[in-house]
């Protein structure tokens, strides 16, 4: 199964008819790992809440696909995504967090204790729930995206752009996100190719103007990605120009990095019956808190953050969620 398919399945609803074989009661249930989930587990453990955390389909979250991490505080020499997630996991376990492999397949937040089905056959009854299921970057579905994952393919310019200083990169997309990524990379790279499927951008007028005014950005109109090339790392992209038209042609462009900027899908599907989300699926929280519309249920990390999507901001929101849960339990 492709990496991005696994990540999408994290939030998929399981409507199977498997019989529930076990029930367990806990104070705090944390759904999902990554910086948000593990940080919530650290804080909840230190508050003697005995949290149980289920890691989901991809333990450690999206950061486990990032080879180099240099912008997380405390790692002066940098680290890798998997190593950092292992550090956070061990820290949570040191304080007593019960971290388990498994994924949430259904949820019932109609009353307390809240009920979450794990792996389709076990129910956790929780006095409070912290949702940290993250968001899945949208991919084109090319085999080369998996082949070069961590070796030139990225879905986060802010995370990985630093490694392409003075190099050439491609960015796929035509909306505000793609323009923002292209502009950010233009401040680092020698050249940025913005690959746009149509003959116009969907981005806001102000973002379009900024792209057009930047000499480092070249927009490749009516281009679609066929594949990537390179010996172990990305060295070029193969594009269709005017695909499906009489003048269709195949184009080779030399690049060192390939960035996807076609959006993210929050892993929130199984909660939508009870939890308010925006039109995309990001969980809504009350301003400056992790509180959702259901008292006792909290959200943190990329499942509720459509603005920053950084490891450090996810960790900070995990801290807030644990503190909010602690206060809720203390009052109830």
Residue with tokens 């529930």: 20
Instruction: Indicate if 284 and 159 belong to the same structural domain.
Output: no
- pLDDT for 7 beyond 70: no
Instruction: Indicate if 47 and 126 belong to the same structural domain.
Output: yes
Instruction: Indicate if 25 and 131 belong to the same structural domain.
Output: yes
Beta bridge partners of 237: 228, 253
Reported as a pLDDT band with limits 50, 70 and 90, residue 64 is confident
Instruction: Indicate if 159 and 232 belong to the same structural domain.
Output: yes
Instruction: Indicate if 75 and 174 belong to the same structural domain.
Output: no
- pLDDT for 11 beyond 80: no
* Residue 237, domain extent: 143-260
| 153 Ramachandran zone, left/alpha/beta (phi>0; psi -120 to 50) | beta
| Final residue before a domain boundary, out of 245, 260, 275 | 260
- pLDDT for 221 beyond 60: yes
| Final residue before a domain boundary, out of 260, 292, 307 | 260
Phi, psi of 52 (to 5 degrees): -110, 125
- Quote the crossing angle between the two packed helices 311-331 and 34-46, to the nearest 10°: 40
- pLDDT value at position 71? 86
- Model pLDDT for residues 132-164, shown as the tens digit of each residue: 999 988 899 999 999 998 899 998 888 889 999
Instruction: Indicate if 7 and 133 belong to the same structural domain.
Output: yes
- pLDDT value at position 190? 97
| Final residue before a domain boundary, out of 207, 227, 260 | 260
Reported as a pLDDT band with limits 50, 70 and 90, residue 287 is confident
Instruction: Indicate if 210 and 184 belong to the same structural domain.
Output: yes
As annotated, the active-site residues are 156, 159-160
List the one residue out of 322, 332, 321, 329 whose CA is nearest residue 95. 322
- pLDDT for 17 beyond 60: no
Instruction: Indicate if 158 and 87 belong to the same structural domain.
Output: no
Instruction: Indicate if 123 and 7 belong to the same structural domain.
Output: yes
Instruction: Indicate if 10 and 133 belong to the same structural domain.
Output: yes
Total structural domains within the chain: 2
Instruction: Indicate if 33 and 118 belong to the same structural domain.
Output: yes
**In sequence order, which residues have a C-beta less than 8 Å from that of residue 101 and are 6 or more positions away?**
54, 55, 59
Helices (H), 10-165: 34-46, 81-94, 143-147, 157-160
- pLDDT value at position 21? 61
Average pLDDT over residues 195-219: 95
- Model pLDDT for residues 66-120, shown as the tens digit of each residue: 667 888 999 999 898 889 999 999 999 999 999 999 999 999 999 999 999 999 9
Instruction: Indicate if 45 and 115 belong to the same structural domain.
Output: yes
Helices (H), the chain: 3-9, 34-46, 81-94, 143-147, 157-160, 176-186, 205-213, 311-331
Q: What is the mean pLDDT of the chain?
A: 91
Neighbours of 249 (CB within 10 A): 10
* CATH code for position 194: 3.50.50.60
> Does residue 39 contact residue 132 with C-beta atoms inside 8 Å?
no
List the one residue out of 327, 332, 322 whose CA is nearest residue 290. 322
């Amino acid at each position: 199964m492709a990496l991005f398919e696994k990540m999408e399945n994290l939030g998929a609803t399981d409507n199977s008819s498997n019989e529930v074989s076990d029930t367990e009661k806990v104070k705090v249930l944390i759904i999902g790992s990554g910086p948000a989930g593990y940080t919530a587990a650290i804080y909840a453990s230190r508050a003697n809440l005995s949290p149980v955390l289920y890691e989901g389909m991809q333990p450690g979250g999206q950061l486990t696909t990032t080879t180099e991490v240099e912008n997380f505080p405390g790692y002066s020499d940098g680290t890798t995504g998997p190593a950092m997630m292992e550090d956070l996991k061990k820290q949570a376990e040191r304080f007593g967090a019960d971290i388990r492999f498994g994924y949430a397949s259904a949820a019932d937040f109609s009353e307390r204790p809240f009920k979450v089905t794990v792996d389709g056959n076990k129910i956790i009854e929780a006095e409070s729930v912290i949702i940290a299921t993250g968001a899945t970057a949208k991919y084109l579905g090319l085999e080369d995206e998996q082949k070069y994952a961590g070796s030139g393919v990225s879905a986060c310019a802010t995370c990985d752009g630093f490694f392409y200083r003075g190099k050439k990169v491609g960015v796929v997309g035509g909306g505000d996100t793609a323009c923002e990524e292209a502009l950010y990379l233009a401040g680092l790279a020698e050249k940025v190719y913005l690959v746009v499927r149509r003959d116009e951008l969907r981005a806001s007028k102000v973002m379009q103007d900024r792209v057009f005014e930047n000499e480092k950005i070249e927009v490749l109109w009516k281009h679609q990605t066929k594949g990537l090339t390179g010996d172990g790392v990305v060295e070029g992209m193969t594009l269709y120009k005017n695909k499906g038209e009489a003048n269709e042609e195949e184009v080779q462009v030399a690049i060192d990095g390939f960035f996807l900027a076609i959006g993210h899908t929050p892993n929130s599907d199984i909660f939508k019956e009870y939890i308010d989300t925006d039109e995309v699926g990001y969980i809504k929280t009350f301003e400056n808190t992790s509180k959702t519309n259901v008292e006792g249920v909290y959200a943190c990390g990329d499942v509720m953050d459509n603005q920053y999507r950084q490891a450090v901001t996810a960790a900070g929101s995990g801290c807030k969620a644990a503190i909010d849960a602690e206060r809720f339990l203390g009052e109830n």
